[in-house]
Chain A
Amino acid sequence: MTPFYFGGGGRRLFGAYHPAAFGSEATRAAVLCHPSGGEYLNAHRTMLQLAAKLAAQGFHTLRFDYFGTGDSAGDAIEGDIAGWPADIEAAMDEIRDIAATTTVTLIGLRLGALAAARVAVQDPGKIDALVLWDPIARDGVAGVPAAELDALLARYPGRALMLSTAQGPARTQRSSSLDGQALAGLSWAIVEDVEPWTDRSANAGLVPVKAIQQILTWLA
């Protein structure tokens, strides 16, 4: 994994690049979109392991921090959710340059899923697959009202996965997540992944193994 900074225009962002495993036939790229606040901290290990496993499966993978969050530039009060889609676009540009690809798989967790959905609406031609993991559904968040998500995701027939976990890596209540039944034409997976969240083979500690495996299998 290579840690680095990228982006300009006053929005310098921290990124962690996981190169695709040597010898991978496919050259695909993925960007992971973190949740926010305490969920970001709690899910850090999960996103790291997901990135490592995507890389092992042949994806050039980029994790990054939004402006005003994590290791990226900016104070917390300078960062706002409205700016996240632009940060995701910058991350997509970066990984496309690195991987020499034209499209990117976008994977978002919680609030990161909503921001990823926003980008998917704006630039459907740049995204080859979309994974929304326990997305928060509150009207107005990231500019994507929950009622509109169905229509948005219909633009990705067979290329969007809605993943709902019994206890997400962000340790939040499922009740605030989107009601998947309202979304037609969408791959829908529920992972009852309460325990154990361990992957000793990867020395990864506690991570939601089944949920990560679900994503990897769906993308394979």
Chain B
Amino acid sequence: MAGVIGEPREQAVRLGTQQALVGILTLPVPSDGSADRAVVFLNTGVMHRVGHHRMFVMMARAVARSGYFALRFDFSGIGDSEPRTDGLSPVASCLADIGDVLDWLQQERGIRQVTLVGLCSGADHAILYGHGDPRVTALVLIDPTVPATPRYYGHYIRQRLIGPSNWFSVLTGRSFILRSLAEQLRHMLGPARDMHRVTLQNLRFHPILEQSYRNSVARGIRLLAAFSQDSTRQTYREQILDAFPNLTFGDRLQLEFFRDSDHTFSAREDRARLVELVLAWLGPARMAAAADRET
């Protein structure tokens, strides 16, 4: 229980250039002022900062007990944060918000190294932003967007052939696969690949995604990619490797596949396993700092 001696305390904060963003900062234990690392949690879609089934609350408190600051905040226009007024596109707005948040952590708490954590669209925002900011040293990507591969289409179609409702979707034009193919045709000729035109759903996003992973590997960012079984976008563990055959992730990437979990890890035991995985992968903040000093 938060608030008990030895347990992390939480502070409600406003941050960002206009103090327009709302977040919860979980203080590290022990709170002796030595912590200089933070884990920052990014919204999943329009869900506010607590995450599905309070997943991010649970994870933030766990990493704080390992010595990290943890910040859960809402992107502009999501949850309690106010919308931006500068006309940025949704993706560009989210990336700008992350930059503002990292600036705040650096100025207010002296944070030098940050791990970004996101589920689904949050994971996409994490990789899109993280590769370009030297303060980001690690990324936890839970069910990020992974481009389809021939093996993916094989899995997907095999599953879809079984149910009559899927045939109904095909006949009525609501099939995911048909819409995906139509999307490909629509965007194949489009030249624009800037963040003002890209959405996380269209294919203009994929080359940007590949470049983001390439930059991350080049910078030595550690990547933890965890996938659930219940996702329409990836159907097998190694899909991310097949989708980017020109990239060599090496030991920078750890892949995990939760065979029985759904997309939001709705089962409590699945969330607990996910938290344990993230904690083990991050390691205690003091040990991570000591390892950095040795290298």
Chain A contact residues, CB within 8 Å of chain B? 1-5, 10, 12, 14, 16, 41, 44-45, 48, 69-71, 73-76, 78, 203, 205
Contacts and interface: CB of A to CB of B under 8 A. Distances in A.
Contacts, number: 60
Contact of B49 (A10, A45, A71): A71
A73 B2 contact: yes
Contacts of A73: 1-3, 10
Interface string B66-103: 00000010000101100100000000000000000000
Among A1, A14, A44, A205: residue with most chain B CB under 10 A: A44
Contacts of B58: 75
B105 interface: no
Nearest to B57: A71
A69 B54 contact: yes
A3 B48 CA distance: 14
Contacts of B54: 69-70, 76
B46 interface: yes
Contact of B48 (A2, A12, A44): A44
Q: Which A-B residue pairs are the 5 nearest by beta carbons?
A: A3-B12, A73-B2, A12-B3, A73-B3, A203-B83
A71 B46 contact: no
Contact of B12 (A4, A41, A44, A69): A4
Nearest to B58: A75
A111 to B, nearest CB: 16
A3 B57 contact: no
A3 B3 contact: no
Contacts of A74: 1-2
B160 interface: no
Interface string B1-30: 111100000111110000000101000000
B182 interface: no
B47 interface: yes
Among A14, A41, A203: residue with most chain B CB under 10 A: A41
A10 B14 contact: no
Given A12-B10, A45-B46, A75-B1, 20 more contacts: A1-B22, A1-B80, A3-B14, A3-B24, A4-B12, A5-B10, A10-B3, A16-B22, A41-B47, A41-B48, A41-B50, A41-B52, A44-B79, A48-B79, A71-B24, A73-B1, A74-B1, A76-B53, A203-B77, A205-B77
Contacts of B46: 45, 205
Contacts of B52: 41
Nearest to B52: A41
A170 B14 CA distance: 27
Contacts of A16: 22, 80
B112 to A, nearest CB: 26
A159 B165 CA distance: 49
A48 B80 contact: yes
A12 B12 contact: no
B195 to A, nearest CB: 21
Given A5-B12, A14-B12, A16-B80, A71 B3 contact: no
A211 B2 CA distance: 36
A78 B48 contact: no
27 contacts: A1-B22, A1-B80, A2-B14, A3-B14, A3-B80, A4-B12, A5-B10, A5-B12, A10-B1, A10-B3, A14-B10, A14-B12, A14-B24, A41-B47, A41-B50, A41-B52, A44-B48, A45-B46, A48-B79, A70-B50, A70-B54, A71-B10, A71-B72, A73-B1, A75-B1, A75-B58, A78-B1
